[in-house]
Amino acid sequence: MDIENKKYKTLVLALGGNALLQRNEVLSADNQYKNIAAVAKVVKVLSEDYNVVIVHGNGPQVGLLSLQNLAYEETPAYPLDILVAETQGMLGYMITQSLGQEQGMPPVSSVLTRVLVDTNDAAFQDPTKFIGPVYNEQEAVEMAQRYGWTMKEDGKYIRRVVPSPMPKRILDLDAINALLNMRHVVVCNGGGGVPVVNNGDSGFSGIEAVIDKDFSAALLASELNADCLLVLTDADAVYQDWGTPNQRALRDVTAQELKPFAIADGSMGPKAQAVIGYVEKSGNPAYIGALHDAAQILKGEKGTKIHL
């Protein structure tokens, strides 16, 4: 079948964890399918004008798999890179199933994606990526003692943290491009991608880490020469003076104007850093906003647009 792709722009869609699971919601298959159903309706609308690439987070899911691994003590626990691959398969399947139920949706494919990181990344000495459930202080101390985990505060709770190195290269880019050229919706880079390091002539090997999905989505958008990057999150926009009586949504900002928001702490910091990097590297726009506003965000009616 001859498919005309030239009229379709390419959009990389980074789904925040709330798109798959609400905070403190039970990590059941039913709950995830319920949340993914809302994602499917949004992607259906976007697919009418774009070739859509979906990158999703996996913090709760990879944490659950880790706990399940530890519970069966007769077998050594699997390393994080394999658990990330498992979450890619699990969530890729669930997203593919849900999207496929939307009438008129293009074909949907999920790609197990490896992402190159650097063994010398400082993140391996200072873990910052939250995974798994939340704990109170006593529970956190017990889990740290039992498993040797590093624990840090996440709001009013405490969670496990693991290394989150910066992504350097998408190793399975050719497969993603091939599917886009066939007008598929592509689910890839799940959980930021399976973290691997280069061993020279002996190829690549996995490493214990979980890559930030926003940085990974931004890198993927650059390597695909995507027309835009859309980061969906809890907030409906980036806000000036957030949490004060003077707070206001920023609708249209340059990458330079967004830089004060690109701080290491807080949920918006990594997203701001990721979109700034994409915009400055590609020259194309990026957007930040809420899932249900996705189509309006791309029209400039809601959310925040970031450009040069």
Question: What CATH number should be reported for the domain holding residue 221?
Answer: 3.40.1160.10
Other Cβ atoms closer than 10 A to 145: 9
Residue 170: per-residue pLDDT? 98
How buried is 204 (Cβ within 10 angstroms: 0-12 exposed, 13-18 middle, 19+ buried)? middle
* Per-residue pLDDT tens digits for 106-157: 999 999 999 999 999 999 999 999 888 889 999 999 999 999 999 999 888 8
Q: Cα separations (Å) of 238 from 36, 160, 204? A: 24, 27, 38
Q: Quick check: is 130 in a domain? A: no
Q: Cα separations (Å) of 66 from 78, 208, 252? A: 8, 12, 41
Q: What is the mean pLDDT of residues 271-285?
A: 96
Confidence check: pLDDT of 3 > 50: no
Q: Quick check: is 72 in a domain? A: yes
Q: Quick check: is 56 in a domain? A: yes
What residues make up the domain containing 78? Answer: 9-113+170-306
Residue 303: per-residue pLDDT? 96
* Confidence tier at 239 by pLDDT (50, 70, 90): very high
Q: Is 246 a catalytic residue?
A: no
Total structural domains within the chain: 1
Q: Which residue of the set 51, 191, 271, 277 is catalytic?
A: 271
Confidence check: pLDDT of 282 > 90: yes
Average pLDDT, the chain: 92
Q: Quick check: is 243 in a domain? A: yes
Q: Is 59 a catalytic residue?
A: no
Please indicate whether residue 93 or residue 16 has the higher confidence score (pLDDT): 93
* Confidence tier at 59 by pLDDT (50, 70, 90): confident
Measured between alpha carbons, how far is 274 from 220 in angstroms, rounded to an integer? 11
Q: Which residue of the set 44, 129, 302, 305 is catalytic?
A: 129
* Per-residue pLDDT tens digits for 62-115: 988 999 998 888 999 899 999 999 999 999 999 999 999 999 999 999 999 999
Q: Which residue of the set 16, 191, 213, 289 is catalytic?
A: 213
Residue 17: per-residue pLDDT? 67
Q: Quick check: is 126 in a domain? A: no
Q: Quick check: is 119 in a domain? A: no
Q: Which residue of the set 18, 31, 69, 198 is catalytic?
A: 18
Measured between alpha carbons, how far is 65 from 82 in angstroms, rounded to an integer? 10
Other Cβ atoms closer than 10 A to 103: 6
Residue 6: per-residue pLDDT? 52
Residue 2: per-residue pLDDT? 44
Q: Is 284 a catalytic residue?
A: no
* Confidence tier at 278 by pLDDT (50, 70, 90): very high
Nearest to 133 by CA among 74, 229, 218, 60: 60
* Per-residue pLDDT tens digits for 164-182: 999 999 999 999 999 999 9
Q: Is 213 a catalytic residue?
A: yes
Q: Quick check: is 77 in a domain? A: yes
Q: Is 198 a catalytic residue?
A: no
Q: Cα separations (Å) of 305 from 29, 164, 254, 292? A: 34, 27, 8, 16
Q: Quick check: is 94 in a domain? A: yes
